[in-house]
Structure 1
């Protein structure tokens, strides 16, 4: 699976610092898996999962979102894939199917204790929600109350405000004129990307690639991307200022959780804790 390209320099946004980075998500997912395996050893269960492919889902999703959040802005991508999700993106159906396949590959005996499908396993009480829920609770131990969905909601509000901003409206008019000169009639890069002709999941047509390439060339000509980033960043900063208290709580939550993640990753693995002789007859 191709690696996700790094975001373009200068495309970071103010709200990014309130959301997990790909590396932070990777550490969190590994800590979760470490705690799950430690829990399972209490039931005499050995599990090597989740595998590397399953652990790649979270970080790759964040990387893909950040690399693609401004739409198609790269000439090479436009010429190769049009508006279709490239082969590195979790928006690509083949990538999603491959990652999901590995993500759900769990042995039946492990599932009972991992997901809490039975109240007991091997004579021992299964924690509420199973080892997965127990691990999640350990990673959230001691964190303050905070709304973890707030950054995404504020980002959506900033996008809506940007769409009404006269600075962005001006460059969109210039982009539309540029596209008309190239023989394409669209009101924005978004409307071009969502042309019904590109809906199916078949390889992109020559027409789609041609429109996407003209789109990117026009974006470059009128400096669409720098304007979009500047306008979006300004609206995000305004929203951050209005929600400083809530975002401060969220920052403290993530800092506490990061310490829990570090502690979980630094803990020494324990040997399986098997039931005493006569305590378990071997059936779950």
Structure 2
């Protein structure tokens, strides 16, 4: 299947941030960097607001400890998933479509094999366990846990309330919503639209007709189990034309500018989010320090 379009996540910049001695001019075409910068090495203004990798691990461990205690109280033995370190590079894959030549040559727009294999996914928990975890029934009616009344939202809901205690209420998807809106605005930016036209002209010269990279990425012909030869050739042309037109650099510069505008326009929400994050981290540290 074609790679998924991602318009959100903590992401990236080939040039420096706008307004800070930038290597790209937000009012005009971005300058060519000294060398190609991998998308995984880029950064965006919203990045600093997300928990760091270590902070995310701390919160995962604190939540797991609270959930296990809650489940034990309900008479259920539960082993939570192992905490996993989030790879920042993984969140950036797909932000600008396909950008890697080797992937284009071998996989086209298909995901690497094995990632979605059924055997890689853990089996769903028993209904009683799922009910205690979430407070929601997913199947037929069954017995309540022997240990007592399930808290609102299940043990996960209880853990979340403990971790957010003392912080202001904020939307759980605030940063992702801001990143999504900034990404949509960046795609409509005149510089990016001009970049799309240059890219379209480039791929047309290689025998492919698409108005923008997403049309190539989302071509329904790629909805197959394995990439075809034409899919791979299209993907190679896509990446080559992104490089020759500096599309990713231009797109990235616009993304930075629109994220900065979004942050400035939602400063009160951002401040509440940062206060809530600080409270969550402080609560998480207390949970882990308690025996």
- Say whether 1:158 aligns with 2:188: no
- Say whether 1:262 aligns with 2:288: no
Q: Distance in 1 between matches of 2:197 and 2:130?
A: 56
Secondary structure in 2 matching 1:225: helix
Cα 1:168–1:20 shift into 2, 3 Å: same
Partner of 1:101: 122
Q: Distance in 2 between matches of 1:93 and 1:137?
A: 32
2:163 is matched with which residue: 139, 142, 151?
139
Tell me if structure 1 keeps the 8 A contact 2:191–2:250.
yes
Partner of 1:50: 80
1:121 is matched with which residue: 123, 146, 153?
146
Tell me if structure 2 keeps the 8 A contact 1:148–1:250.
no
Secondary structure in 1 matching 2:93: helix
Partner of 1:81: 107
Partner of 1:282: none
Q: Distance in 1 between matches of 2:190 and 2:152?
A: 53
Q: Distance in 2 between matches of 1:191 and 1:82?
A: 14
Q: Distance in 1 between matches of 2:259 and 2:277?
A: 20
Tell me if structure 2 keeps the 8 A contact 1:23–1:59.
no
Q: CA RMSD in A?
A: 2.8
Deviation at 1:115, TM superposition (A): 4.3
Partner of 2:19: none
Cα 1:126–1:31 shift into 2, 3 Å: same
Larger radius of gyration: 1
Q: Deviations over 1:134-171 (max 9, x none)?
A: 21211111111223323222222222222222211222
TM-score by length of 2: 0.74
**Can you give the 5+ residue segments of structure 1 that lack an aligned partner in the other structure?**
1-5, 269-284
- Give the structure with the larger helix fraction: 1
Q: Distance in 1 between matches of 2:92 and 2:248?
A: 14
- Number of matched residues? 249
Q: Deviations over 1:183-231 (max 9, x none)?
A: 111111111101111123x011111111111111111111111111111
**Can you give the 5+ residue segments of structure 2 that lack an aligned partner in the other structure?**
1-11, 13-37, 138-142
Tell me if structure 2 keeps the 8 A contact 1:115–1:130.
yes
Q: Distance in 1 between matches of 2:236 and 2:226?
A: 16
Q: Which moved more, 1:113-122 or 1:68-77?
A: 113-122
Q: Distance in 2 between matches of 1:170 and 1:150?
A: 30
Partner of 1:170: 194
